[in-house]
Structure 1
């Protein structure tokens, strides 16, 4: 009888301990917060044509200065010429700041991304700068730019806020070669996570029409691989949807030799 009571006491104690551990685990999951990757992107509002100026990205991870970012690359283009972009790799100053000196020879309003990858996260803040007097698109040209698709280049979203999409150009491709298809998404300057992202792949010359699912590797970064079986021009349409009613798509081209 005494042994039975002793066993009952031990069983009850065991159940109590397991329940307490479970509660600690659940509470830990509830209170754990993801540390954000922050980039303070410093760009002058206006400079003259051919005037030297500095781009600076200050990268932090929580309270920590990020001195070992995997990538900080500045990409800029003139408004209305989104298919003609220039990329410059930033200099790591070893103190959490990443800079480059730049001058632009043609006046206009330019958009600039600071592509930043660190701690397994990616973010791409965007700023605008006016060079010289700037330019204003004629209404007819503006409507043309707004209405046409961007083929074979990066689309950067229409405004500094809102939705932004960056397709990583896989570069030259050869028949039978596997390529990585990667896209970075943002909403209002923050990574757009938990979206449904699919690639629609079409090669008209060989009647190829396939849908490719993606995997979200880190917040806002969606990746897939695809084997380019035939030579020719592939049209890649990126479809983006989420539970909030977002539905965006952009089209790009890849030439396969």
Structure 2
């Protein structure tokens, strides 16, 4: 038989358990946005519409969180020829306005390239990437690669390549 003292202990234990459970739920609420997603950066990587050999062109990213511009701690743009990550070149991004960062880079040969932006803001990081092409032959090759990928015949060299916009 359970006496009054034991009922009190059971009640107090249940009350403490419930308080801890509710406290844990409340603490986690701040870790999600209005859609229930964990905090994340939205990074819109832009490749110039026209790229010419031996001329620098501006690459940019717009960084937001919850539709507000973000002042990033570090923005890096990384460039390499498709299939040759050992030829990677890193250029620091400069803030042009709150949430908008750019880097100038030029190319010395036609081909298919990858640009990846590495964005760090506090404990958050994003690394979107896009492929693009310089030169007619490279544009055709990139279009063929994208068609093969769409048909599931070829995996990207790196899983974090973006939408594969192509430019010349």
TM-score normalized by the length of structure 2: 0.65
Structure 1 gap segments, 5+ residues each: 138-157, 165-187, 190-257
Q: Is the 8 A contact 1:45 1:130 kept in 2?
A: no
| Per-residue CA distance 1:32-62 (angstroms, 9 max, x = gap) | 4221122111113552323442111111233
Runs of 4+ in structure 1 over 6 Å off: 7-13
Once residues 15 and 81 of structure 1 are traced to their aligned partners in structure 2, the CA distance between those partners, rounded to angstroms, is 62
Once residues 45 and 65 of structure 1 are traced to their aligned partners in structure 2, the CA distance between those partners, rounded to angstroms, is 24
| Per-residue CA distance 1:123-144 (angstroms, 9 max, x = gap) | 211011211224349xxxxxxx
Give the match for residue 64 of structure 2: 60
Once residues 82 and 66 of structure 1 are traced to their aligned partners in structure 2, the CA distance between those partners, rounded to angstroms, is 29
Give the match for residue 22 of structure 2: 24
- Call closer, same or farther: CA 1:12–1:63 in 2, change over 3 Å: farther
Q: Pick from 103, 106, 111: which aligns with 2:106?
A: 103
Once residues 121 and 107 of structure 2 are traced to their aligned partners in structure 1, the CA distance between those partners, rounded to angstroms, is 29
TM-score normalized by the length of structure 1: 0.45
| Per-residue CA distance 1:144-169 (angstroms, 9 max, x = gap) | xxxxxxxxxxxxxx628x735xxxxx
Once residues 95 and 119 of structure 1 are traced to their aligned partners in structure 2, the CA distance between those partners, rounded to angstroms, is 16
- Please identify which structure carries the higher strand content: 1
Structure 2 gap segments, 5+ residues each: 33-37, 143-154, 163-168
- Call closer, same or farther: CA 1:78–1:8 in 2, change over 3 Å: closer
| Per-residue CA distance 1:157-205 (angstroms, 9 max, x = gap) | x628x735xxxxxxxxxxxxxxxxxxxxxxx87xxxxxxxxxxxxxxxx
Deviation at 1:89, TM superposition (A): 0.5
Decide which moves more: 126-135 or 20-29.
20-29
CA RMSD of aligned residues (A): 3.2
Give the number of aligned pairs.
Answer: 139
Decide which moves more: 25-34 or 56-65.
25-34
